[in-house]
Structures are given as C-alpha cells and as structure tokens.
C-alpha cells in the first residue's frame, strides 16, 4: 500500500506514495477534515482546485447523522458526498471519549449517550469497523481509547491495553473492497508505553500506523515528545499518521520527525472566526489595520481567495457576517496547508529539506499560546 | 440606454436590451441581491456560471459598513467586490424607512439612527446620489419615501410629494461616469396617486422607472394592482423595474404586465433555512421524506448544485448546519430565478409567451400564505 520513495539524509523526512482504492496519494500529505461528510464551507470543486488528494471523515458523527442506512442507500460515503478521491475515516474512538456524555467502558467497546440527543449507543471495534465498511472509506482506523493528556499513569496503561485488544478485534472484522486499516498507537507521554503499544501493533501488521493521544490539549513540547517516543518503533515501509495535528510549523517539524500524514480542523475552524494562516503565521483579518489593505491574504498565493479578493474586502465580509468571508478564508487556509505539503515533498525530493525546514521555522511566528508553552518547557 | 426589441402581441411582456457602463443586460432580467457587497453565500464565479448579468447592492448598508472611504479607496464597488458586470444600487430610501430607528423627515432628507450602532445619520437626495456616485454603480436609484402598505391616505400623498421633490433634486446631482438614474414611482394602492407620481417623474426624463411601494407587506392582489395602476403611465422606451419582487410565479405575472427588471432576497434568504424553489413551487429540503431521495433538487436543472448533489445529501447538510447545504440551495434558487427569466425572454422572442405564462402559472403551486391572500381577495 505504501511505497517509500526517499528518506531525507539529514532528517527523518520521507517522500512516499500511498495507493488506495480511490487513487494514489503523495506523502507527506494533509487531509482536509470533513467530519459530517463536508469539509466545512468548501465544495468538492474548491477542494480539488486547491490540490486535495484525500479527505478525512468521521464514523461517530456519520453514524449519528445522517445515520448508516442513508449512506448505505447512497452506495457509500464517496457517492453520498460526491467525492471521488480517497477518504480516510476515523473510528469514533476519539469522539466517544471527548464528545459523548456519560460513558461506560466495557470489554468490547463503550456504552455512551449521544452528544446530540442523549440516546444510548454502543461503539466498539466490531461496530466501528462495520460502520466504516458501509461508509466504504479507503482507509479505516481501528477503534481505540484516547485518554486526556493529563490522565493518571494507570489510566494511560489501561487505555493502551484496551487499544491493543480492540485493535486485534478490529483486524478480524470484514472490510469494504480494497479497504485498508491503520492501527493507532496510544501511551500518552510515557516512552515505555508508547514503545510497547507500537511494537504490539506492528506485530499485528496493519496497513499503516497512526500516532494517537496527541492534539488532546497537551503543550507542544509534550506532543513532539509523544511523536519522538513512538516513531522509532514504526516500520519504515508503512505510512505514519499524526492524528489531529497541527499548525503549519508543527507539521513541518513532524515531517522532519518521520510523519507522513496529517489532519486538522484548524484551517477551517479559525477561518470561521476570521483568522488567516500564511507561511509566516496566523493573523486576524477583522482588524482595523486591514480596512484599506488591498493586498491578497498572502502575497504570491495562487488560491482562489487570493486571486480574487483583497484583505479589505474579506475584512468587510467577516465583520458584517457575510458567508463569503469565512468561505474564502477557509479556501485560503486549507490551500496553505496543502501547499506546505507540496513544498515539503519538493524539498525532500530535491534533497533540500533541511534548508526548507530551517527557513520555514525561522519565518513562522507561532501563536502566543505556543510560545508560552515552549517558554515553560525551557524553564523546567 | 434601453432598447425595446419586441412587445408580446397578447400580453404586455417586453423583450429588451439595457446598455450600461459595464455591459449589456437582456430583459426581462432578475438581479441577485448583494446588499452588503456580497450576494449572500455566493461567490462571483458561481454568479457568472448561473448567468447573472447584473446584481443589486445597497447605498444604506454600504455607507454604514464598510463605509464610503474604504470603497472610494478601492476605486469603487466593482473593484471592491471584484464584480465586473453591471451593478444597480438602491438609494437607501427603503432602508431608512424600514430598518432605521427614530427617524425625522426633513425637507431635504431624513435624519435617523443607524440600526447597527444607533449613531445619528442623515440621508437625502444629495447624500444618496453622492454615495452612489462614489460606489460607481451603473444604475443609481433616486432617494424616495417608501411608506408601509397600510399607511393612511394622507401619508401616502405626502410620501408621493416628497418622492417627487427629492427625485427632482437627485436629478441635478453629479454622477459617476456613464451612471444612469432611475426614478421611483410611489403612491401605494391609490390609482390616482400612482398616475400622478408616474406622470411627473416621466416628465423629468429619468433613464428608467421603478415601481416602489411594493413588497412592503401588502397582499399579492394589492401588489399586482399597484403595478397595473402604474405601468400604463410609464414610457415604452424606458426600462421598468418592480422593486423587491417576487416569487417565480409573481415575476412571470409581472412580465406579462410589462415589467422588465426584478430584484428579490427570496432565493438566497429561503435557501438559508433550507427551502428550495423550482418551476413547480417551493419545498423545505430538511424534511424526512428526502432522507433517501437521491434525485437533484430539480430534475433536469443544470445548476452546479443539481449537477453535483442529491436531495438526501443536501438535507443532511442542512440538518447538521453545514454551510455547504445553504450554499448549494442558494446556488440552485438563484439559478432558478435567472433561468425563469431566460425562459421568459425566449418565449417572448418566439411569440409563445402566452403559452409559457399559462403553463408556468398552472404548474406553480404558490405558498399557503399567497393562496390565502388570493382567497380573501376573491371573497371581497
């Protein structure tokens, strides 16, 4: 499924090719997030124009709404949403542990109440794989337990044990035609747990490996460590996917640490509150300083938003709550995420990734929050 | 400015050509409404793809936000919003009388408080024309007084007197290069007032004539009468514009009564609550009956939404508040409005408008509200 085309000689960055039932994906890659069968505010044409190769969608949400019967009747998720390229579906594990109210962990899954209407539901390895089979995603994720980053050691260990047991159950379930399945490594910030979880899952021979238990509220230094503790135990000939991450600078850091795949709601989520992201950092477009700024969001950007509209116009639209404003910032931000991947791939191919990495980080101003996290880490 | 190409032999329907500084518009025409310099939820490419020839924007709103200085700095409204085709701007008269709080009518305009922040503002013929000059619209509207449909006779008369005086002041103001100015006929449902207002304005020789004081809450039969009371007094060689109307069936009725131009927020407004409009009427797409309905919104429709998405998918998106849902219904509804105009023009050109008119009305099921209005009228 995964072909490793090249490994950078100075970093762990990798150039690869992921072959799925709906086409080939170049890695490193970013997957725009279509939680409810729609990448928020964007249409499929816009996604294709910005170079989207694969999107992510979600078992938990689609199972609640519209419900599996409707997607089955449509002939699967690709048909339902009119998206012909690859789809990766998350298993719902993360949502059961983050969104659902009142949950009870049982041997073969989790009983929980829907965050929509409070109805009692059950999701476990068998259910999650059956839903993903019907969705017909190209890549299904195993059903895992994802504890909060500050969970006590005992809870982290239990989560790893369950994640492993459930992964082995997932492995045995029926799949859609050509559907691949990725394991998910948990273990929080405990190196021994990460190693153990990775090694057992690798023995099970999944089609690829995700690093979970990141993007769960932990500070950036801890996130980087979780990746570093896990990556050495993952096989070189399988794709590695860091779940739910990150900022553009974080993605570049993670590519340098051997990660191939990313997904993140950030580009579309911050767009809806008027924040644009560029190669040099993020900025709020609503501010008065853009009143008569007739430049595009980012100079030299060839996205639809930057080719057609100025900061002054988008600022106006955002301030008067016109949907076109958040649409166009969503276009720009998602395009930027994909563009950074294209640039990283080109740099790895050309043998200039070290320089690309250094320049990218030097030019990118992280958010105040991330800077504060780094400062605390340095002072420890 | 207006070339009358053909008048239907059985009805008053007209085929025409409106030449503006930014291009030629075929009439009858529908103008999508971009109140705040954006047709809600749509981008310019979508507008062009659906055949938009001219859009409407608004003096009152743009003057408040972003403010005239910003649009002046952008080089006018076309540049600001990146729309190269014609723009008609309403004068703000309607908004001053419908939206603004605490207004005081003075000889040369209206003092009022902004509906946004309560600041004290003044808008009259001079101000409205100056704003429209800076906006650089292709067609500017005179500043009129638009009373509610149930205003007492005395108020209707005063409104006509002011509308006439202000129209004559508007006529004398400086204009943008090539900018045309339309007069607005008021007079409510009083035939004598309508005639008087029309005749005085026609003597002033405006570039076109709007029928105002419709779409102000009056029942449909009263609206049709207001048009019928006014139209005979308008010159055949000038375009006629029925402001703020209407449903597809109403537009066809008004074309049959000699109207050339329409604008209405309906197609995008009802789209945002999940109502789609077709050749046979409107229907709410959120309902359970569309759960597994894999037909497009309207069979045979060639809009972007109908070419790409099913009712079942759009229903899901609308129910989970995904922006793509209301976007695609906005695309379909606006396209439908433009399509009805294209069909009407073709029918007039082919000499089959009577048949088109009869079939359209026979196939179109009006809303319960409009049916009730018609029933009350018949029973009187």
pLDDT tens per residue, range A89-120: 999 999 998 887 788 999 999 999 998 999 99
Q: What is the mean pLDDT of residues A252-259?
A: 98
Interface touch A36/B322, C-beta < 8 Å: yes
Q: What is the pLDDT of residues B220-242, one digit of tens each?
A: 999 999 999 999 999 999 999 99
Give the length of chain B.
380
ipTM above 0.85, yes or no: yes
Chain A residues with CB within 8 Å of chain B CB: 36-38, 40-45, 61, 65-66, 69-70, 73-74, 80-82, 291-292, 294, 304, 308-310, 312-313, 315-317, 319-320, 322-328
For strands A275-278 and B208-211, give the pairing.
Answer: unpaired
Interface touch A40/B323, C-beta < 8 Å: yes
Average predicted confidence (pLDDT) for chain B:
97
* Spatial CB neighbours of B155, under 8 Å, sequence gap ≥ 6: B147
Q: What is the mean pLDDT of residues B287-298?
A: 98
DSSP code string of A136-199:
T-SEEEPP-----TT--HHHHHHHHHHHHHHHHHHHTS---TT-EEEEEE--TT-HHHHHHHHH
For residue A97, the model assigns a pLDDT of 87
* In the predicted structure, residue B56 carries a pLDDT above the cut 80: yes
Which bin fits A122, alpha (ψ -120 to 50), beta or left (φ > 0)?
beta
Q: Within 13 Å and on the Cβ side, how many CA atoms surround B233?
A: 23
CB nearest B43 (choices: A69, A291, A324): A324
For residue B218, the model assigns a pLDDT of 94
For residue A101, the model assigns a pLDDT of 76
Contact of B341 with B28, CB cutoff 8 Å: yes
Q: What is the pLDDT of residues A151-163, one digit of tens each?
A: 999 999 999 999 9
Percent of chain B clearing pLDDT 70 (strictly above): 100
The closest of A348, A148, A344 to A250, measured between CA atoms, is: A344
Interface touch B73/A322, C-beta < 8 Å: no
Catalytic: B302? no
- Distance between A326 CA and the closest CA of chain B, angstroms: 10
* In the predicted structure, residue A295 carries a pLDDT above the cut 80: yes
Model confidence at B309, in pLDDT bands (50, 70, 90)? very high
Residue A30's DSSP bridge partners are A262
Q: What is the mean pLDDT of residues B330-351?
A: 98
Model confidence at A379, in pLDDT bands (50, 70, 90)? confident
For residue A46, the model assigns a pLDDT of 98
Q: Exactly one of A90, A138, A144, A260 is catalytic; name it.
A: A90
For residue A175, the model assigns a pLDDT of 98
* In the predicted structure, residue B358 carries a pLDDT above the cut 80: yes
Model confidence at A181, in pLDDT bands (50, 70, 90)? very high
Contact of B240 with B209, CB cutoff 8 Å: yes
Model confidence at A380, in pLDDT bands (50, 70, 90)? confident
d(CA A330, CA B251): 36
Chosen from B39, B43, B63, B334 to mutate, greatest number of chain A CBs within 10 A: B43
Model confidence at A291, in pLDDT bands (50, 70, 90)? very high
Model confidence at B150, in pLDDT bands (50, 70, 90)? very high
- Searching chain A, which residue's CA lies closest to the CA of residue B327? A41
- Searching chain A, which residue's CA lies closest to the CA of residue B72? A292
Of the listed ranges A54-58, B102-106, B245-249, the least confidently predicted one is: B102-106
Q: Exactly one of B90, B138, B144, B260 is catalytic; name it.
A: B90
For strands B208-211 and A101-106, give the pairing.
Answer: unpaired
Q: What is the mean pLDDT of residues B303-318?
A: 98
Interface touch B65/A312, C-beta < 8 Å: no
For residue A100, the model assigns a pLDDT of 79
- Distance between B11 CA and the closest CA of chain A, angstroms: 40
- Distance between A66 CA and the closest CA of chain B, angstroms: 6
- Searching chain A, which residue's CA lies closest to the CA of residue B44? A308
Model confidence at B3, in pLDDT bands (50, 70, 90)? very high
Model confidence at A288, in pLDDT bands (50, 70, 90)? very high
Within 8 A of A323 by CB-CB distance, chain B residues are 38, 40-41, 323, 326-327
CB nearest A65 (choices: B40, B310, B316): B316
Catalytic: B263? yes
Q: What is the pLDDT of residues A316-332, one digit of tens each?
A: 999 999 999 999 999 99
Within 8 A of A328 by CB-CB distance, chain B residues are 43
CB nearest A312 (choices: B74, B320, B328): B74
């Amino acid at each position: 499924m995964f072909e490793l085309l090249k490994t950078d000689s100075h970093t762990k960055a990798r150039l690869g090719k992921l072959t799925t039932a709906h086409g080939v994906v170049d890695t490193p890659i970013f997957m725009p997030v279509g939680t409810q069968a729609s990448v928020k505010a964007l249409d499929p044409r816009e996604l294709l124009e910005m170079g989207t190769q694969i999107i992510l969608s979600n078992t938990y949400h689609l199972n609640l709404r519209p419900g599996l019967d409707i997607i089955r009747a449509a002939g699967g998720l690709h048909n339902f949403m009119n998206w012909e390229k690859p789809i990766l579906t998350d298993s719902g594990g993360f949502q059961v542990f983050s969104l659902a109210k009142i949950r009870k962990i049982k041997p073969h899954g989790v009983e929980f109440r829907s965050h929509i209407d409070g109805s009692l539901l059950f999701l476990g390895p068998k259910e999650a794989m059956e839903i993903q089979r019907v969705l017909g995603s190209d890549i299904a994720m195993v059903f895992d337990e994802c504890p909060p980053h500050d969970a006590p050691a005992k809870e982290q260990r239990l989560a790893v044990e369950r994640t492993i047991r459930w992964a082995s159950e997932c492995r045995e379930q029926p799949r859609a035609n050509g559907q691949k399945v990725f394991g998910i490594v948990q273990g929080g910030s405990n190196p021994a747990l990460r190693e153990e979880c990775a090694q057992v899952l690798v023995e099970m021979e999944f089609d690829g490996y995700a690093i979970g238990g990141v993007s769960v509220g932990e500070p950036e230094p801890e996130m980087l460590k979780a990746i570093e503790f896990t990556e050495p135990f993952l096989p070189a000939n399988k794709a590695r996917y860091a779940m739910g991450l990150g900022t553009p600078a974080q993605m570049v850091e993670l590519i340098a640490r051997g990660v191939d795949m990313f997904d993140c709601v950030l580009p579309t989520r911050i767009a809806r509150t008027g924040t644009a992201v560029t190669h040099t950092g993020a900025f709020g477009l609503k501010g008065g300083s853009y009143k008569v700024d007739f430049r595009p969001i980012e100079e030299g950007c060839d996205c639809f938003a930057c080719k057609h509209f100025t900061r002054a116009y988008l600022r106006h639209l955002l301030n008067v709550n016109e949907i076109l404003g958040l649409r166009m910032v969503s276009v720009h931000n998602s395009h930027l995420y994909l563009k950074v991947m294209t640039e990283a791939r080109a740099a790895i191919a050309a043998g200039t990734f070290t320089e690309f990495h250094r320049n990218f980080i030097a030019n990118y101003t992280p958010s105040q929050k991330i800077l504060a996290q780094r400062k605390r880490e340095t002072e420890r």
